[in-house]
Chain A
């Protein structure tokens, strides 16, 4: 009798439910991943970011420039955070990420406007993330029209009508043609490394306990640090190979430039590799099977993709999401890579990110070492 047995089918069904309930980690993932995705996509991600840090290089001051700046501030796209004395100082701020925009009001701006000489108002934008700076830049025309029409009254009212009283010149720095690849490709390195390094390390270590070989290993006089270093170092080399492949492909296939300091890049790279491996090691001390290690790794990779600024502008996220993103190692490495490759950053421009990575690393390594036991209990 080869018929379909409802009893057998139900037995398999029930067994599956029982096993699902017993595997706590998988169960947590089934609930956790949708919740995280919903929260992140629903609340944290905003592809039209506002309040981007902006600095002014004021070569002149007067009613027109004041009107323009107040209109820009009112648009909520720009958050004026101070002044710089020159464009050069402003560009330094763009490079370190302290500012997304520099508004340069040239000397004699007010006078030239009154004379009808249509001077240039320069806006230097950090276009290494075009999705972050695109919105504000395209809103500029409207903002200036409003500024001139509503704010200028009295003898200057005439400037609001007719042909524009000045030109807005936007310099899209670092990615003038807004090529998506130039933004995405450097960020991909951070994501690729997070994905492979964490998973590979976690699985390589969990494999020892899953197969029981850990029992032989720790019955020998080997010290935890010897195991940790010995297991991790091969994957550091894997990380190097991945990076070399990546750099060659970025240059040859996608035409992504490498403007900055190789030394700064290598320092950031090594730190990031170590952080990821330590994270993998930490996961391996919690996971009981390779399957669980895999799931936990995916759990940590999600925020690396969504909250790091890779897919969506960091500046567009609410404060709590930015705080979460700051804890994600990929956030800092992503900035390092973009800064060095696109903005030509030197070591001095990435000290903040290096510091953050060091803090994250110290925390992860400490927790991992505390969790790794030399005994089986």
Chain B
């Protein structure tokens, strides 16, 4: 965003078809240097496929573009040299030690000063004293950090992270994101897919993808405004009954549980107010009208995209 011209990723019309299913449909995107760019979307929406096309693991069926100044169709090798890719599933060698894994990946990229780099990486990871331990014995959080270290070993200028924190505990996720922000400040561009809203908020820009299409591409803070969703937050007893009573009422587009509260949302403010008005008289519960948060916006978007593409009933429960 800072240097308008220096787009690290610039693609348009990117399309991938598996069999007769269009997994990624005319995807366009620009990512500037040093940005943290978030990919959000339901499972199977094409996030992984898009990332794989960007780093040359999959050949697009249509579209064109550049990644780090190289053509994604013809210069996959040059792109691979300069990109760090972290897979959704741990895909280093569980039967190699931590050090052996790092050294192997380093040799794949033919990095110079291999030993020094691996030592430094182990030091940064805090795994120097456990370097001989097999990677398979690490916990989920440590595996992710090792994978990130491996992806960073050749000092790539672009990091592609595919749900890097799935199944990782909250503390480890925070540490992981601290590291990502540090890399971003150092000028590394990061493209990361996630399901966690607390992570999405930390991205400079968010692309919301559903069923292969990019529906929204904007800074995180702007997204609720773009979607125009309004929310009533209700606290009190017997929320399930209230939820049932409100379901299907004109103006009520979404009812989602957030912790001890119920969020009743809709895009038509007047209709929404009218729908909830009778229930607000019940003194047992407290009602607050508030701007919709990112999470309910995305639940709303997912429900809408399921409507559009699969004909499935919108979900009333938060995932």
Which residues of chain B are within 8 angstroms of A377 by Cβ–Cβ distance? 18, 58-59
A170-188 contact mask (Cβ, 8 Å, vs B): 1 or 0: 0000000000000000000
Contact of A375 among B58, B94, B108 (CB under 8 A): B58
**B318 at the A/B interface (Cβ < 8 Å)?**
no
Does any Cβ of B come within 8 Å of A211's Cβ?
A: yes
Q: Which residues of A contact B87 (CB under 8 A)?
A: 212, 215-216, 219
* A217 pairs with B108, CB closer than 8 A: yes
In the complex, are the beta carbons of A219 and B59 less than 8 A apart?
no
Complex-state Cα separation, A217 to B52, whole angstroms: 13
Apart from A211-B91, A214-B91, A222-B108, what 19 extra A-B contacts exist at CB < 8 Å? A212-B89, A212-B90, A212-B91, A213-B93, A215-B91, A216-B85, A216-B91, A216-B92, A217-B108, A218-B57, A219-B55, A219-B56, A220-B80, A220-B105, A221-B81, A221-B109, A374-B76, A375-B59, A375-B76
Q: Contacts of A216 on B, CB cut-off 8 Å?
A: 85, 87, 91-92, 105, 150
Which of A212, A213, A375 contacts B57, CB < 8 Å?
A375
Kindly state the separation between the CA atoms of A214 and B108 in the bound complex, as whole angstroms: 13
Q: Which residue of B lies closest to A216 (CB)?
A: B91
Q: Does A245 contact B (CB under 8 A)?
A: no
| Other-chain residue from B52, B80, B89, B105 in contact with A376 (beta carbon distance below 8 A) | B52
**Nearest residue in A to B108 (C-beta to C-beta)?**
A220
Instruction: Pick the contact of A215: B57, B76, B81, B93 (CB < 8 A).
Output: B57
Within 8 A of A (CB), among B86-132: 87, 89-94, 105, 108-110
Query: 1/0 contact trace for A129-144 toward B, CB 8 Å?
Result: 0000000000000000
A375 to B89, CA, bound (A): 17
Pairwise interchain contact B58-A213, C-beta atoms closer than 8 A: no
User: In the complex, what residues of A have CB within 8 A of residue B279's CB?
Assistant: none
CB of B174 within 8 Å of the partner chain = no
Cα-based distance from A214 to B93 in the complex (angstroms): 10
Q: How many residues of A contact B (CB 8 A)?
A: 16
Q: What residues of B have a CB within 8 angstroms of the CB of A374 in the complex?
A: 76
B80, chain A: closest CB distance, angstroms: 5
Most B-side CB within 10 Å, residue of A216, A374, A377: A216
Chain A 348-377 interface mask (CB, 8 Å, partner B; 1/0): 000000000000000000000000001111
In the bound complex, how far is the Cα of B55 from the Cα of A216, in angstroms? 11
User: Which B residues are closer than 8 A to A by beta carbons?
Assistant: 18, 52, 55-59, 76-77, 80-81, 83, 85, 87, 89-94, 105, 108-110, 150
Expressed in whole angstroms, the minimum distance between the Cβ of B291 and any Cβ of chain A is 40
- A213 engages B91 (CB within 8 Å): yes
The 7 closest A-B pairs by CB, nearest first: A220-B108, A219-B85, A212-B91, A216-B91, A221-B80, A215-B91, A215-B87
List chain A residues, Cβ under 8 A from B77: 221
Most buried by A among B56, B94, B108: B108
Residues of B within 8 A of A215 (CB): 57, 87, 89, 91
* Residues in A whose Cβ lies below 8 Å from that of B108: 217, 220-222
| B63 CB, nearest partner CB in chain A, Å | 15
Question: Nearest Cβ distance between residue B301 and chain A, in whole angstroms?
Answer: 28
Q: In terms of DSSP, what is the predominant structure of the interface of chain B?
A: loop
Residues of chain A lying within 8 A (CB to CB) of residue B57: 215, 218-219, 375-376
Minimum CB–CB distance from A230 to chain B (whole Å) comes to: 10
The answer to whether B91 touches A375 (Cβ under 8 A) is: no
Distance of A213 Cα from B91 Cα, bound (Å): 4
Residues on B with C-beta less than 8 A from A212 are 87, 89-91
The distance in angstroms between the C-alpha atoms of A375 and B85, with both chains bound, is 14
Task: Give 29 pairs: A residue, B residue, CB < 8 Å, sorted on A.
Answer: A211-B93, A211-B94, A212-B89, A212-B90, A212-B91, A213-B91, A213-B93, A215-B87, A215-B89, A215-B91, A216-B87, A216-B91, A217-B108, A218-B57, A219-B55, A219-B56, A219-B57, A219-B83, A220-B80, A220-B105, A221-B80, A221-B110, A222-B108, A374-B76, A375-B56, A375-B59, A375-B76, A376-B58, A377-B18
Query: Do B80 and A219 have beta carbons less than 8 Å apart?
Result: yes
In angstroms, Cα B85 to Cα A218, docked, is 10
> Complex Cα distance A222/B93, Å?
16
Segment 188-223 of A: residues with Cβ below 8 Å from B: 211-222
Q: Tell me the complex Cα distance, A162–B18, Å.
A: 85
The distance from the CB of A214 to the nearest CB of chain B, in whole angstroms, is 8
CB distance from A59 to the nearest CB of B (A): 69
Residues of B within 8 A of A220 (CB): 80, 105, 108-109
* Distance (whole angstroms) from the CB of A363 to the closest CB of chain B: 27
Q: Which residue of A lies closest to B154 (CB)?
A: A220
Nearest A residue to B56, CB-CB: A375
User: Least Cβ distance of A91 to chain B in Å?
Assistant: 54
Cα–Cα, bound, A326→B81 (Å): 45
Q: Mark A81-104, 1 if CB is under 8 A from B, else 0.
A: 000000000000000000000000
Within 8 Å CB of B89, what residues of A?
A: 212, 215
Please measure, in the bound complex, the distance between the C-alpha atom of A81 and the C-alpha atom of B217, giving whole angstroms. Answer: 82
Q: Closest A residue to B89 by CB, please name it.
A: A212
Closest residue of chain B to A218, judged by CB?
Answer: B57
Q: How far is the CA of A212 from the CA of B91 in the complex (A)?
A: 5
Query: Which residues of chain A are within 8 angstroms of B59 by Cβ–Cβ distance?
Result: 375, 377
| Residues in chain A near residue B52, CB distance under 8 A | 376
Q: Which residues of B contact A218 (CB under 8 A)?
A: 57
Assembled-state Cα–Cα distance A214/B89 (Å)? 11
A179 to B161, CA, bound (A): 66
Nearest-CB distance from A372 to chain B (Å)?
14
Q: Which residues of A contact B90 (CB under 8 A)?
A: 212
When chains A and B are docked, how far (Å) is the Cα of A375 from the Cα of B53? Answer: 9
Q: How far is the CB of A66 from chain B (nearest CB, A)?
A: 72
Contacts of B94 in A (CB 8 A): 211
* Identity of the chain A residue whose Cβ is nearest the Cβ of B92 in the assembled complex: A216
A218 to B91 Cα, complex, angstroms: 11
Chain A residues lying within 8 Å of B56, measured Cβ to Cβ, are 219, 375
Q: Which residues of A contact B76 (CB under 8 A)?
A: 374-375
B230 to chain A, nearest CB (A): 43
Closest to B162 in A: A215
Distance between B297 CB and nearest chain A CB, rounded to angstroms: 32
